[in-house]
Amino acid sequence: MFALIDGNNFYCSCERVYRPELKQQPIIVLSNNDGCVISRSSEAKDIGIKMGVPYFQIQHLIQQRKLTVFSSNYELYADLSRRMMNTIASLVPAIEIYSIDECFADLHNLNNLHQLGHNIRNRIQQWVGIPTCVGIAPTRTLAKFCNHLAKRHRHHFNGVIVWTDWNSNIQQRALASTPVNEIWGIGHRIGQKLAAQGIHTALDFINAHTPTLRKQFGVVLERTQREMQGLPCSELIINEASRQHIVRSRSFGNIITSLDGLQAAISHHISAGAAKLRQQNSHAHIISVFIYTNRFRHDQSQYNGYQSIKLPQPSADTLTLNHIAQNLLRNIYRPGYEYKKCGIELSGIEPAQTFQQQDLLYPNQHNHRTKLMSAWDNITSRYGRNSIQLGSELQSNHWHMTRAQLSPCYTTQFLEILTI
DNA sequence: TCTGGGGTCCTAGGACCC
DNA sequence: TCTGGGGTCCTAGGACCC
Q: Nearest nucleotide (C1') to the CA of residue A348?
A: C10
CB-strand contact A402/B, under 7 Å: no
Q: What is the pTM of this model?
A: 0.93
Report phi then psi at A8, rounded to 5: -75, 130
If you measure CA to C1', which residue is closest to nucleotide B10? A220
Q: What is the pLDDT of residue A367?
A: 63
Q: What's the CA A235/C1' C15 distance, rounded, in angstroms?
A: 21
Nucleic strand B under 7 Å from the C-beta of A251 = yes
Round to a whole number and report the distance in Å from the CA of A280 to the C1' of C18.
21
Q: Give pLDDT, residue A358.
A: 61
Q: Which of residues 33-92 of A touch strand B (CB under 7 A)?
A: 33, 35-36, 38, 52, 54-56
The one-letter amino acid at A231: L
CA–C1' span, A91 to B4, in Å? Answer: 34
CA distances from A85 to A79, A97, A164, A218 (A): 10, 7, 25, 34
How far: A324 CA to B15 C1' (Å)? 29
Give the pLDDT confidence score for residue A362 in this predicted structure: 60
Q: pLDDT by residue for chain A (420 residues), tens digit each?
A: 999 999 999 999 999 999 999 999 999 999 999 999 999 999 999 999 999 999 999 988 888 877 999 999 999 999 999 999 999 999 999 999 999 999 999 999 999 999 999 999 999 999 999 999 999 999 999 999 999 999 999 889 999 999 999 999 999 999 999 999 999 999 999 999 999 999 999 999 999 999 999 989 999 999 999 999 999 998 888 887 889 999 999 999 889 999 999 999 999 999 999 999 999 999 998 999 999 999 888 888 889 999 999 888 889 999 999 999 999 999 999 999 999 999 999 999 988 875 555 666 666 655 678 899 999 999 999 998 889 999 999 888 888 888 999 999 999 888 898 887
Sheet with A37-40: list strands edge to edge: A37-40, A27-30, A68-71
What chain A holds in terms of domains, given with CATH numbers, is 1-165 (3.30.70.270), 166-240 (1.10.150.20), 246-394 (3.30.1490.100)
- Measure the CA–CA gap between A227 and A205, rounded to whole angstroms: 11
- In this complex, the answer to whether residue A243 has its CB under 7 A from any atom of chain B, a nucleic strand, is yes
pLDDT tens figures, A55-80? 999 988 888 877 999 999 999 999 99
Residue A50 CA, nucleotide C16 C1', distance (Å): 21
pLDDT for the residue numbered A357: 56
CB of A400 nearer than 7 A to strand B? no
Measured from Cα to the C1' atom, the residue closest to B7 is A245
A116 CB-contact burial (10 Å; exposed 0-12 / middle 13-18 / buried 19+): buried
Report CA-CA distances (Å) from A270 to A24, A51, A216, A339.
42, 31, 41, 18
Q: Which nucleotides of B are covered by protein (CB under 7 A)?
A: 1-12
A109 vs A57, A140, A275, CA distance in Å? Answer: 51, 16, 40
Query: Straight-line distance from CA A184 to C1' C17, in Å?
Result: 8
List the A125 CA – C16 C1' distance (angstroms): 31
CA of residue A186 to C1' of nucleotide B8, angstroms: 14
Number of C-alpha atoms within 13 angstroms, CB side, residue A149? Answer: 26
Residue A59 pLDDT: 87
Q: Which residues touch strand C (CB under 7 A)?
A: A 98-99, 101-102, 144, 183-191
Nucleotide in closest CA–C1' contact with A296:
B3
- Residue A156's alpha-carbon distances to A34, A153, A160, in angstroms, are 35, 5, 10
User: Nearest nt (C1') to A100 (CA)?
Assistant: C18
Task: Name residue A411's amino acid.
Answer: T
In the 305-334 stretch of chain A, whose C-beta falls under 7 Å of nucleic acid strand B? Answer: none
pLDDT attached to residue A363: 60
